[in-house]
Amino acid sequence: MPKKVLVVDDSVFMRDIIKDIFAAGGFTVVGEAGNGVEAVEKFKELKPDLVTMDLVMPYRNGIDATREILRSDNKALVVMCSALGQETMVMEAIEAGAVDFIVKPPRAEDVLAVVKKVLGEA
């Protein structure tokens, strides 16, 4: 059974790239969200196996959303999407419970390698 992924990013363009990578890698993207508030709602509703989470978003940033998601399910797997130069924020997200991170612009092989590792499939 393909694993379910929730893609969170405020850029539609970026969401499309990530969605395509997952589709090609044999995952099912069960939903997407454009801000942190939506991300938390969708997570509770869809119960995905994995979430990719943008750091900087309107309404609620990725770190707060990650914290909130883990509060509702402490086994949730959240992978951050960050740009170079956001190391401090990524570490804050890891502190909040994120399990790994992907560097933007995302490259298919990197994304899939990270995600498979996190899911214990590597």
| Chain residues in the site for other proteins (CB under 8 A) | 84-85, 87-88, 90-91, 94-95, 99-101, 103, 113-114, 117-118, 120, 122
Query: Which CB sits closer to other proteins, 13 or 120?
Result: 120
- Residue 22 CB, shortest distance to other proteins, in Å, is 16
Query: Which CB sits closer to other proteins, 38 or 54?
Result: 54
Query: Which CB sits closer to other proteins, 33 or 69?
Result: 69
For the chain, list the strands marked E by DSSP. Answer: 4-8, 28-33, 50-54, 78-82, 100-103
- Residue 88 CB, shortest distance to other proteins, in Å, is 5
Q: Are 36 and 57 in contact (CB under 8 A)?
A: yes
* 80 Cβ contact list (under 8 Å, min separation 6): 52, 53, 54, 55, 62, 66, 90, 93, 94, 98, 100, 101, 102
- Residue 52 CB, shortest distance to other proteins, in Å, is 14
